[in-house]
């Protein structure tokens, strides 16, 4: 039913297409800027803006094109409250007698402000609306709603060719504003969910870090051990990943982080008398101590999402030559996550004081790690340790 000729139809089609594609673009800021820029270029108006509802704060935030004339938002008007005349006008429902099709045209607002036929309240509001439009240098304001909410207001500057907007143009802008506002709201909802997800990830990691550190603190001689092992493990994994030695995705990195944090969690089940014993352990005590990987598994194995991380806890005392515990796994049969933690754990143990011996120097510890390559440790990981040492990153 819509008719149009030449360029008028072209810009409509282009804008309609852009508005539709927006659905799957989930970056609100980029989106708003793109649409405002397209409006100015395609419709050939001096400038355009969108006042968009920020639901959480119940304010309307303006995004505006610089426009051909270099239009700037006046200070203090980049954000307006929901009791701003412009917002109130659309929320209370514009009076059809004075504002056709629910759109505000600057000229009509000015006229209504002095119309003898209008109620004093409407006259006053219209005057305020007109003043607000002067601030934005807006010729037309087009509202867009979703359900009962005023989602946003599209502000249009004047046509570059001069002359008023036609009714046909305005009704096109109304449809467009609705698409745009919904696209933007959709992107915002997406963004909110993503932020919430990030927050959750942080909360989980931070809580695990805090609890692991607290458990760490029980063992007087290993203060900060868990944090150091975790950092070193992640650095090793990052380098293995860069070298494409193993396929390590984001999930694997996170599993490694959790497993490193929790690798000694089973020590909760070891009596303090053994944990903090000065001098070496007797055979009985040693046996008890060697239960800690399995005790750790017992604690977290019910958590389905941690099933890969559990491998790191369970096997971090296995040896490359198969002489480790609890199962005597050998070589590449030891899960990579555990092989990494094993090296990081041993290196940190060597370089810190223990009840039965003082800390080794870094160089001596690295030499020991190298000596045990292929015996206790996976040679590929030992290589990375050597690389880290050369770069003074140990």
Q: Which residues contact a second copy (rule: CB under 8 A)?
A: 1-4, 9, 20-21, 23-24, 26, 146, 178-179, 182-183, 185-186, 189-190, 193-194, 196-197, 199-204, 206-208, 210-211, 213-215, 217-218, 265, 268-269, 271-272, 299-300, 302-303, 305-306
Give the Cα separation of 330 and 263 in Å (integer): 19
Kindly tell me which of 29 and 305 has the beta carbon lying closer to a second copy. Answer: 305
Closest by CA to 385, choosing from 226, 229, 236, is 236
Please identify, using beta-carbon distances, which residue of 69 and 189 lies nearer to a second copy: 189
Least separation in angstroms between CB 299 and a second copy: 4
Which lies closer to a second copy via its Cβ, residue 109 or residue 309?
309
H runs (alpha helix) in 62-166: 85-91, 106-114, 120-135
Q: Closest approach of Cβ 24 to a second copy, in Å?
A: 6
Comparison of 217 and 375: residue with beta carbon closer to a second copy:
217
Identify which of residues 252 and 386 has a Cβ nearer to a second copy in the complex.
Answer: 252
Angle between helices 336-350 and 379-390 (to 10 degrees): 50
Residue 32: CB minimum distance to a second copy, A: 16
CB 209 within 8 A of CB 261: yes
Q: How far is the CB of 267 from a second copy (least distance, A)?
A: 10
DSSP secondary structure, 21-81, as one string? HGGG---HHHHHHHHHHHHHHHHTBS-EEEEEEETTTTEEEEEE--TTTT--PPTT-SEEE
C-beta of 239 vs 267, nearer to a second copy: 267
Cβ-based nearer residue to a second copy, 189 or 323: 189
Smallest distance from a second copy to CB 230, Å: 15
Phi, psi of 179 (to 5 degrees): -60, -45
Nearest distance in Å: CB 248, a second copy: 20
The CB-of-182 to a second copy minimum distance in angstroms stands at 5
Smallest distance, a second copy to C-beta of residue 222, A? 14
Would you state the structure tokens that stand for residue 266, as one six-digit string? 């089973």
**Calpha distance 27→31 (Å, rounded):** 6
Distances 171 to 6, 105, 138 between C-alpha atoms, Å: 18, 13, 17
Which ranges constitute the DSSP H helices of 302-335? Answer: 307-314
CB nearer to a second copy: give 178 or 233: 178
Least separation in angstroms between CB 351 and a second copy? 25
At 244, list the tokens: 């494409």
Angle, CA of 346, 308 and 261, to the nearest 5°: 45
For a second copy, which is the closer residue by CB, 217 or 364?
217
d(CA 299, CA 268): 10
Contact 295, 310 (CB under 8 A): no
Residues paired with residue 63 on neighbouring β-strands, in sequence order: 50
Q: Which residue, 147 or 357, is less far from a second copy as judged by CB? A: 147
Taking the complex as a whole, the smallest distance from the CB of residue 266 to a second copy amounts, in Å, to 9
Query: CA-CA distances (angstroms) from residue 267 to 66, 147, 263, 275?
Result: 62, 57, 9, 8
Residue holding tokens 């750790």?
Answer: 296
């Amino acid at each position: 039913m819509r008719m149009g000729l030449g360029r008028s139809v072209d810009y409509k089609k282009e804008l309609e297409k852009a508005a539709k594609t927006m659905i799957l673009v989930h970056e609100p800021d980029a989106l708003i800027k793109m649409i405002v820029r397209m409006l100015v270029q395609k419709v050939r108006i001096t400038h355009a803006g969108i006042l968009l509802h920020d639901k959480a704060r119940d304010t309307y935030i303006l995004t505006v094109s610089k426009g051909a004339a270099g239009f700037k938002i006046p200070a203090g008007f980049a954000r307006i409250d929901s009791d701003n005349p412009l917002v109130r006008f659309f929320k209370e429902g514009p009076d059809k007698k004075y504002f056709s099709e629910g759109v505000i045209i600057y000229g009509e607002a000015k006229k209504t402000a002095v119309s003898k036929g209008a109620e004093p309240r409407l006259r006053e509001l219209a005057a305020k609306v007109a003043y607000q439009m002067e601030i934005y240098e807006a010729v037309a304001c087009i509202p867009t709603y979703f359900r009962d909410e005023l989602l946003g207001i599209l502000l249009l500057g004047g046509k570059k060719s001069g002359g008023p907007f036609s009714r046909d143009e305005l009704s096109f802008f109304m449809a467009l504003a609705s698409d745009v506002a919904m696209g933007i709201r959709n992107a915002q909802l997406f963004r909110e969910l993503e932020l919430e997800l990030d927050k959750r990830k942080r909360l989980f990691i931070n809580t695990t870090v805090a609890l692991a550190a607290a458990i760490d603190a029980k063992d007087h001689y290993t203060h900060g051990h868990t944090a150091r092992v975790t950092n070193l493990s992640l650095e090793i994994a990052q380098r293995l990943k860069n070298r494409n030695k193993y396929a390590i995705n984001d999930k694997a990195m996170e599993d490694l982080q959790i497993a490193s944090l929790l690798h000694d969690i089973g020590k909760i089940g070891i009596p303090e008398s053994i944990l903090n014993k000065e001098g070496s352990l007797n055979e009985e005590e040693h046996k008890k101590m060697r239960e800690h990987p399995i005790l750790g598994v017992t604690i977290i194995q019910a958590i389905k999402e941690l099933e890969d991380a559990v491998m790191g806890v369970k096997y971090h005392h296995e040896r490359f030559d198969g002489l480790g515990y609890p199962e005597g796994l050998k070589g590449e049969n030891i899960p990579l996550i555990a092989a990494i933690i094993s090296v990081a754990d041993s290196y940190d143990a060597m370089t810190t004081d223990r009840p039965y011996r003082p800390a080794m120097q870094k160089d001596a510890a690295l030499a020991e790690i190298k000596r045990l390559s292929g015996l206790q440790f996976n040679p590929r990981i030992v290589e990375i340790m050597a690389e880290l040492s050369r770069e003074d990153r140990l």
